[in-house]
Amino acid sequence: MIYSEDDFIQLSALQHFMFCRRQCALIHIEQVWVENLFTAEGRVMHDKAHEERVETRDGVRIERGIPLRSNELGLNGKADVVEFHQVLGRPFQ
């Protein structure tokens, strides 16, 4: 099944749904958001994930803020952090 643009679900909505269905509804349906101490701390810790940069450590390439989209699944969003592990003898692709 191919989804229309209006039917796409944000990846962040899936994360909110798995954490708390009510939170997901408040944020993504009712568009209500109230910052508190816990959400503010989480936002500060999460800001690094949106720094679109690349680093390599111990044969692992780490990229942040990678756009993802699936027309087949009807999903759209950004991956905070993705690790690419090098296959022996092959360069990163």
Mean per-residue pLDDT for 46-72?
Answer: 83
Strands 9-10 and 75-85: parallel
Q: What is the pLDDT of residue 69?
A: 93
pLDDT-based confidence at residue 92 (cuts at 50, 70, 90) = low
The alpha carbon dihedral of 52, 2, 12, 34 has a sign of positive
Instruction: Give domain limits for the chain.
Output: 8-85
H helices present in 2-77, as ranges: 11-19, 21-28, 37-46
